[in-house]
Structure 1
Amino acid sequence: MENEQIKKAKNSFLTGENFYAQHLLGVHKLRSYYVFRVWAPHAMQVWLVGTFNEWSESLPMQRDEQTGIWEVQTDLPSEGELYKYKIQQEDGQKQYKMDPFAIRLEPRPGTAAIVYTIPEKKWKDGLYRGRSKRSNYFKRPLNIYELHAGSWRFHWDGTPFTFKDLSKELVPYVKTMGYTHIELMPVMEHPLDQSWGYQLTGYFALCNTYGTPEEFQSFVEECHLANIGVIIDWVPGHFCVNSDAIAYYDGTATFEYTDRQRAENVRWGALNFDLSKPQVQSFLISNALFWLEFYHVDGIRVDAVSNMIYLDYDEKQWQPNHLGTNQNLDGIYFLQKLNAVVKLAHSNAIMIAEESTSATKVTGRLEDDALGFDFKWDLGWMNDTLAFFEMDPIDRGNKLNLLTFSFMYMSDEHYLLPLSHDEVVHGKKSLMHKMWGDRYKQFAQLRTLLIYLMAHPGKKLLFMGGEWGQFLEWKFNEGLEWHDLADPMNYAMQQYTKKLNEVYRSETALWELEETPQASIEFIDADNHEQVVLSFIRKGKRKKDFLIFVFNFSAVEYPTFELPVPFAGTYEEIFNTELAEFGGTWTQIQEDLQSQPVNNKKYQHAINLVVPALGAVILKPKKISLSTKR
């Protein structure tokens, strides 16, 4: 008679409430034998085949008629052997399929799963995880270094670094540079490097190219011991069409929609998950919790959310829902359920959405009909900002709204500002190459772009290579241009980014009030179209805790720029993008700046300072009178 616990697990998988489905399905070692289970509800027959039975049909599996789960127990396999499921479809054809719940797959181009039992790890990151549970990341600095694990660095023989290598070199690098988190593009198994990991086949399997599951566990642990959080990209909306993976798993629409029109993802040549199916919900939510718990990752960035919540997002014919709208109600319900379950289990897990529209509330409470994410990528900010910086400065005066428009909606969501991998490939040019002008001016503007990223309300993300101004576009099959750092300008740019990251982490005015962005910023002048100078204040909780940012987006230096200030007193310059140590021409920062009375509509005091061309400065109150009238 079947174990009662197994019955409950099967039934809850069937109803979409089994959030640890990997403990039921896949392969599991029980004493001296293994049990294999796979969900293939419309299969005529399923066999377990592998190196242990010479890929023969000698191990037929038994079907649970209620759940469509097939099972077999055998003592034939040994650890490390390969296996697949051979599925006889309704039309009589037989197809070899990989195990959707495999935690390890053989190296490409092979597609077999590996009989693999990972020993329980004795983690040493308890102090970091304990601090994270007690920390409110909305009110803490969040500065993410985004990277593709397979191309951050290569060995001398042309092979990419594994997570064992990255533990030794990436972790100390990120710590030295002052980032709070890293974000990894998908690390799950995928058949084609050109997809960068966004066309998945093995959702529970670490990509074999990057090493073993144990090595990835150790990598995350090393990050935590260095006080660095780890976020992974995840793709629950669509999956790879390869016939040996989960596509039409039992010969019918299993993980995908039955309706071919809804199942096919034309834009990416993929298949869309049927997010209305309870079994698919169990599969995907289990997968999210698996990465959070088994690997101790700190957060998940959900890719292509728009594709999941809008019926008309893809390049094909579509039908409105029963309400007559373009919303994918199945996708919305799934994402709300996903975030509810994740937050119930791990309230401190960081859930991030890559979503490009404003029609659906993405971040915020489920009770307010939001999707429940913590942060949303602000792709509008990214597109407008980069368009502005690519522009000839002579044309920028009439386009200052490209920078200021984002302040109009910054309270609509909890935003993360991304300068991501998507913007440095496919002929879009690197961040450095996007900048206008000669090489010196490009570096000057890249420095200004990065300080603008830090000054704007919202959490931060920068893709690898941008920190030192790599000129070439990112290539998924090559390492970064580390030899660039032999050039004094690139090295100075890297040191600039490091120093800027230090300022971001140490100045509470840049993140303390970001749950309410409107309270954290005050404009001095957002309409200086003639000089193309933007100035504003970032504020902390205490009245005297504030920073003043002055940006000069023109190619002209202003040697006696009058800047209104909120209080009388002395202000000091704490950061200047044009210092020689950063690649500029200034040998020292400006002396303390004393305010003088002025007749200004907003403030009654002002200071005079030099504002560098294509540069920016940060000012901080040194000795001010808080009782003076504005």
Structure 2
Amino acid sequence: MTPDTATVLAIAEGRHPHPHSVLGQHVYGDSVVIRALRPLAETVEAVRDDGSRVKLSHVAEGLWQGMEHGTPRPYHLDTSYDGAPRWIAEDPYRFSPTLGDVDVYLFGEGRHEELWRMLGARVRHHEGVEGTAFAVWAPHARAVRVIGDFNGWNGVAHAMRRLDENGVWELFAPGLTPGHNYKFEILTRHGEWVSRADPMARYTEVPPKTASVVGTSDYEWGDGAWLTERADRDPHNTPMSVYELHLGSWRPGLGYRDLADPLIEYVTELGFTHVEFLPLAEHPYGPSWGYQVTGYYAPTSRFGHPDDLRYLVDRLHQAGIGVLMDWVPGHFPKDEWALGKFDGQPLYEHSDPRRGEQPDWGTLVFNFGDSQVRNFLVANALYWLEEFHIDGLRVDAVASMLYLDYSRDEWLPNEYGGRENLEAISFLQEVNATAYKRNPGIVMIAEESTAFPGVTRPTAGNGLGFGLKWNMGWMHDSLEYVKVDPMWRSHHHHDITFSLQYAFSESFMLPISHDEVVHGKGSLLGKMPGDQWQKLAGVRAYLAYMWGHPGKQLLFMGQEFGQPSEWSEQRGLDWWILDQPAHQGLHRLVGELNRAYRDHPALWQRDNDPRGFEWLVGDDNTNNVVAFTRWSAEREPLVVIVNFSGIPVGPYRLGLPCDGEWVELVNTDAAEFGGSGVGNYGVVTAEATPSHGQPASAELTVPPLGALFLTPQR
């Protein structure tokens, strides 16, 4: 009945893998034995709910033991120490596991879609007592302890039990309330104790501190109408105009709650349908912009409590604004207190550095072939979508996941000798299919920079299952084109038209993202040639071309008003420039483009259908002019014509789908937008003279570095 010396030592040192098998209460015949670890105690008693007491005697090394006849019943421990107040507390080791067989089984199969309800620190009511249930996956560990500010960062009295062969460890800490900091202390196979933040932590200390925090949410959502409407909407074929922002530098000093009012007012004024936040998961290094994640389940505490983020999303939804977020499942940093070699050896990362390290970023790559690692990531995507009501995830660096030789001189082929990462492909298919199945109306977006086939093809058709793909080819070619002086653009005309050769091969989003305005690339305004007027005119024409082109739009903060300087996360935007009328004009134009876009289905209804686009002029490199028609599902046309030269073009005969009057819906050279006022006085009259393969045509003037949107007068 009394444990042997080796067992006593293991319990006393907090390294026993099954402490509940020794500590707590155990039946021996018609008696119950109670054991407790209380080093340096003078007396220890187990006090039953009816007030009866069982005196415990010291065995060795701080282990106490007592016996009484009867059956197991609840108790707490009353401990006295020399010169100290009595310590009355519940015994963590009298409680049964907080995890059920179904939870353990699903995780063992890699199919627990709500993993955050199983692992991590969960404040809960268990067997009549309030407390915190801890659970962690550490299959290579010899022992695991919970350490924190509640036990002086000494986990001997909070050793966890191993529940199964998959390596799930569990402990219920009675009386432990929200707000406490904690980590897991793990005994590796090599006999070394290492401390790690909780991979499933929902709360963290503010960086550079690294502890996890026990917490709970009591937020009451008010966006039910938004979610109901979202479930009935197809985001791939409805308006989506996205304002991308880095939360910390949009308005420096604002937290999640403080941001709600000014962001809603600003985005509403500009008419964007969605905002997209750079990653908000916890990350230790601010200049990584959130792309090196250590806390996948924890919103960064830099900007407040997770419920404050819920408030921000809720308010945006109630204002009719969708919320997207960047998600980074491709790699994670090597910080020794986080995921790397979590239980003393590779666990979340692939053990072979040819697959487990990303040389470009000095990071580690997830082991996508491991069922529990995949479960961790799939559930994480669902966590953001379901617990924070995020409307879609933009998956970062997909190309680095798809190819085993991505930025590697030495790489390990797949089982067929190829370069494709078959396990990562399977993971992406799983996360996309699961996200769409559980959350109707959301959108999964791939930042994928290669010609990998079927990125937005359904998984049932052996595609990756994304809803949208960033069109990096369009971004690269069009920016290269607009950098060229208009005098020489005729030699580069193919750059501005080539994207239409593949525009319907995938469902695309057109990004002018944060990546295009950093690392010496300058701002969008700075890319334009010419004097200040020409630069602003170039931005206006380019954005109109972007809004007219098939695909959704994404614009990084600051470009909507002509940010002069390159973006840096260390400072705010150049808001002062909005005092200048010319920049106010660009700002107004973006709002007008968004309003025209939302009001005219021709600009979005057939984004993914070649019947929604028709060239009018694609080969006029002499004038640097392109023109095309966008068609709605009801065959309502909207004509876009862009003059990328520095001089007006006209009279210019352009074929149109029908005769009659056509309204200048948008003229980027209008004086209200900071332009020179060249145009057609608001109306173009088409006659029944065929041209450009159309039954009608009109002679019109196209302003310098300008664009027109034309719609038939109804």
Give TM class, smaller chain.
over 0.9
Query: Match of 2:222, as an amino acid?
Result: K
Mapped to 2, the partners of 1:190 and 1:308 lie a distance apart of 20
Which residue, out of 234, 237, 244, partners 1:139? Answer: 237
Which residue, out of 638, 641, 648, partners 1:557? Answer: 648
- Is 1:43 the equivalent of 2:135? no
The equivalent residue for 1:523 is: 615
Instruction: Work out whether residues 53 and 76 of structure 1, in 8 Å CA contact, stay in contact via their aligned partners in 2.
Output: no
Mapped to 2, the partners of 1:360 and 1:2 lie a distance apart of 51
The equivalent residue for 1:349 is: 442
Which residue, out of 392, 401, 404, partners 1:311? Answer: 404
- Is 1:12 the equivalent of 2:118? no
Superposed displacement of residue 304, structure 1: 0.7
Query: Match of 1:37, as an amino acid?
Result: A
The equivalent residue for 1:607 is: 698
The equivalent residue for 2:687 is: 596
Superposed displacement of residue 604, structure 1: 4.3
Deviation track 1:180-231 (CA, whole Å, cap 9, x = no partner) reads 0000000010000111000000001110112111110010010011000001
Instruction: Work out whether residues 523 and 536 of structure 1, in 8 Å CA contact, stay in contact via their aligned partners in 2.
Output: yes
Query: Match of 2:107, as an amino acid?
Result: F
Name structure 2 gaps, 5 residues minimum. Answer: 1-94
* Cα 1:55/1:555, change in 2 over 3 Å: same
Mapped to 2, the partners of 1:600 and 1:292 lie a distance apart of 50
Q: Which moved more, 1:27-36 or 1:364-373?
A: 27-36
Which residue, out of 601, 605, 616, partners 1:512? Answer: 605
Superposed displacement of residue 64, structure 1: 2.3
The equivalent residue for 1:22 is: 116
The equivalent residue for 1:166 is: 259
Query: Match of 2:228, as an amino acid?
Result: G
Q: Which moved more, 1:161-170 or 1:597-606?
A: 597-606
The equivalent residue for 1:538 is: 630
* Cα 1:621/1:65, change in 2 over 3 Å: closer
The equivalent residue for 1:230 is: 323
The equivalent residue for 1:628 is: none
**3-state DSSP of counterpart to 1:52:** coil
Superposed displacement of residue 286, structure 1: 1.0
- Is 1:365 the equivalent of 2:458? yes
* Cα 1:524/1:265, change in 2 over 3 Å: same
Find the structure with the greater CA-based Rg. 2
Superposed displacement of residue 33, structure 1: 2.3
Query: Match of 1:25, as an amino acid?
Result: L
**3-state DSSP of counterpart to 1:34:** strand
Instruction: Work out whether residues 145 and 184 of structure 2, in 8 Å CA contact, stay in contact via their aligned partners in 1.
Output: yes
Query: Match of 1:16, as an amino acid?
Result: G
Mapped to 1, the partners of 2:680 and 2:624 lie a distance apart of 22
The equivalent residue for 1:56 is: 154
Mapped to 2, the partners of 1:379 and 1:591 lie a distance apart of 35
**3-state DSSP of counterpart to 2:311:** helix
* Cα 1:259/1:493, change in 2 over 3 Å: same
Structure with bigger RCO (C-alpha 8 Å, 6+ apart):
1
Alignment of 1:454-465 (within 5 A): 454-465=547-558
Segments of 4+ in structure 1 off by > 4 A? Answer: 1-5
The equivalent residue for 2:338 is: 245
**3-state DSSP of counterpart to 2:316:** helix
Mapped to 2, the partners of 1:319 and 1:583 lie a distance apart of 56
Superposed displacement of residue 29, structure 1: 2.2
Mapped to 1, the partners of 2:678 and 2:639 lie a distance apart of 22
Mapped to 2, the partners of 1:455 and 1:600 lie a distance apart of 21
Mapped to 1, the partners of 2:533 and 2:497 lie a distance apart of 26
Mapped to 1, the partners of 2:706 and 2:646 lie a distance apart of 9
Mapped to 1, the partners of 2:401 and 2:453 lie a distance apart of 12
The equivalent residue for 1:466 is: 559
Mapped to 2, the partners of 1:551 and 1:302 lie a distance apart of 32
Instruction: Work out whether residues 509 and 551 of structure 2, in 8 Å CA contact, stay in contact via their aligned partners in 1.
Output: yes
Instruction: Work out whether residues 536 and 549 of structure 1, in 8 Å CA contact, stay in contact via their aligned partners in 2.
Output: yes
The equivalent residue for 1:442 is: 535
Superposed displacement of residue 21, structure 1: 1.1
Superposed displacement of residue 589, structure 1: 5.2
Mapped to 2, the partners of 1:25 and 1:407 lie a distance apart of 48
Alignment of 1:170-181 (within 5 A): 170-181=263-274
Mapped to 2, the partners of 1:358 and 1:471 lie a distance apart of 33
Query: Match of 2:479, as an amino acid?
Result: L
Alignment of 1:337-416 (within 5 A): 337-416=430-509
Superposed displacement of residue 76, structure 1: 5.4
Superposed displacement of residue 601, structure 1: 6.1
Deviation track 1:57-111 (CA, whole Å, cap 9, x = no partner) reads 3221111241211112222533211111111111122111000111111111111
Mapped to 2, the partners of 1:599 and 1:582 lie a distance apart of 33
Mapped to 1, the partners of 2:247 and 2:211 lie a distance apart of 23
**3-state DSSP of counterpart to 1:387:** helix
Mapped to 2, the partners of 1:610 and 1:587 lie a distance apart of 8
The equivalent residue for 2:131 is: 33
**3-state DSSP of counterpart to 2:248:** coil
Instruction: Work out whether residues 575 and 589 of structure 1, in 8 Å CA contact, stay in contact via their aligned partners in 2.
Output: no
* Cα 1:594/1:280, change in 2 over 3 Å: same
Name structure 1 gaps, 5 residues minimum. Answer: 155-159, 624-630
Mapped to 2, the partners of 1:235 and 1:317 lie a distance apart of 24
Superposed displacement of residue 591, structure 1: 4.7
Superposed displacement of residue 314, structure 1: 2.5
Deviation track 1:27-56 (CA, whole Å, cap 9, x = no partner) reads 122322222111111112111111111011
Instruction: Work out whether residues 6 and 24 of structure 1, in 8 Å CA contact, stay in contact via their aligned partners in 2.
Output: no
Instruction: Work out whether residues 40 and 70 of structure 1, in 8 Å CA contact, stay in contact via their aligned partners in 2.
Output: yes
Deviation track 1:10-31 (CA, whole Å, cap 9, x = no partner) reads 1211221011111111112232
Deviation track 1:268-303 (CA, whole Å, cap 9, x = no partner) reads 111000011010111111111111111111111110
The equivalent residue for 1:627 is: none
**3-state DSSP of counterpart to 2:293:** coil
Mapped to 1, the partners of 2:675 and 2:704 lie a distance apart of 10
Instruction: Work out whether residues 481 and 492 of structure 2, in 8 Å CA contact, stay in contact via their aligned partners in 1.
Output: yes
The equivalent residue for 1:111 is: 210
Mapped to 2, the partners of 1:266 and 1:413 lie a distance apart of 29
Query: Match of 1:565, as an amino acid?
Result: L
Superposed displacement of residue 619, structure 1: 1.3
Which residue, out of 168, 172, 177, partners 1:69? Answer: 168
* Cα 1:87/1:497, change in 2 over 3 Å: same
Instruction: Work out whether residues 669 and 706 of structure 2, in 8 Å CA contact, stay in contact via their aligned partners in 1.
Output: yes
Superposed displacement of residue 588, structure 1: 7.3
Instruction: Work out whether residues 266 and 316 of structure 1, in 8 Å CA contact, stay in contact via their aligned partners in 2.
Output: no
Instruction: Work out whether residues 236 and 303 of structure 1, in 8 Å CA contact, stay in contact via their aligned partners in 2.
Output: yes
TM-score normalized by the length of structure 1: 0.95
- Is 1:476 the equivalent of 2:569? yes
Which residue, out of 114, 120, 124, partners 2:222? Answer: 124
The equivalent residue for 1:626 is: none
Q: Which moved more, 1:428-437 or 1:26-35?
A: 26-35
**3-state DSSP of counterpart to 1:339:** helix
The equivalent residue for 1:300 is: 393
Mapped to 2, the partners of 1:588 and 1:617 lie a distance apart of 9
Mapped to 1, the partners of 2:343 and 2:634 lie a distance apart of 62
Superposed displacement of residue 345, structure 1: 0.6
**3-state DSSP of counterpart to 1:257:** coil
Query: Match of 1:513, as an amino acid?
Result: R
**3-state DSSP of counterpart to 1:338:** helix
Which residue, out of 79, 86, 92, partners 2:191? Answer: 92
TM-score normalized by the length of structure 2: 0.84
* Cα 1:83/1:599, change in 2 over 3 Å: closer
Instruction: Work out whether residues 662 and 683 of structure 2, in 8 Å CA contact, stay in contact via their aligned partners in 1.
Output: yes
